[in-house]
């Protein structure tokens, strides 16, 4: 089972794609309205409402049987705390964490987490696009 923390646009899109591909997916968010806003009507995964870093809520979401955790909430502090809890308390084998702040992203990489940093990756993609010779 894959546990996704945060049902914003990114979390909702990821959950939708994984569930459509046949993965067992649970998505956790503190605000039920995010499920309605960011998941399709026929979403095939499971939704859990509650605080994303509360151990009891995480257990209710199934973190104890999760094979992977994607911490992609809008609040990167929540993501970092969820990644830490997932690793240290629940021993989730694979954790991917979204961190916008480049210095914190690097720190978490050095700690052995897989990090997705939209700011760093977006900057690099834009830099490559701007450096390409003009087609003409």
Residue 86 lies in a domain: yes
Q: Provide the pLDDT for residue 26.
A: 98
Q: Provide the pLDDT for residue 119.
A: 86
Domain extent, residue 25, equals 2-131
Our count of domains for the chain comes to 1
Residue 34 lies in a domain: yes
Position 102 confidence tier, pLDDT thresholds 50, 70, 90: confident
Q: What global pTM score does this model have?
A: 0.90
Residue 26 lies in a domain: yes
In tens, the pLDDT along 87-101 reads 999 999 999 999 998
In tens, the pLDDT along 4-51 reads 999 999 999 999 999 999 999 999 999 999 999 999 999 999 999 999
78: part of which helix (H) or strand (E)? helix 76-88
Q: Provide the pLDDT for residue 10.
A: 94
Q: How many whole angstroms separate alpha carbon 40 and alpha carbon 18?
A: 13
Q: How many whole angstroms separate alpha carbon 89 and alpha carbon 26?
A: 19
| Residue 97, beta-bridge partner list | 71, 115
Residue 136 lies in a domain: no
21: domain CATH number? Answer: 3.40.50.720
- Three-class SS string for 12-37? HHHHHHHHHCCCCEEEEECCHHHHHH
Residue 52 lies in a domain: yes
């Amino acid at each position: 089972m894959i546990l996704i923390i945060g049902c914003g646009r990114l979390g909702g899109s990821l959950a939708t794609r994984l569930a459509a591909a046949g993965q067992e997916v649970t998505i956790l968010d503190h605000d039920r309205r995010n499920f309605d806003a960011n998941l399709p009507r026929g979403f095939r995964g499971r939704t859990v409402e509650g605080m994303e870093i509360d151990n009891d809520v995480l257990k209710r979401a199934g973190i104890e049987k999760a094979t992977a955790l994607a911490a992609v909430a809008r609040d990167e502090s929540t993501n970092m705390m969820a990644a830490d809890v997932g690793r240290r308390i629940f021993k989730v084998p694979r954790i991917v964490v979204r961190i916008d702040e480049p210095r914190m992203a690097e720190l978490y990489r050095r700690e052995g987490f897989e990090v997705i940093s939209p700011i760093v990756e977006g900057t690099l993609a834009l830099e490559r696009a701007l450096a390409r010779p003009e087609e003409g």
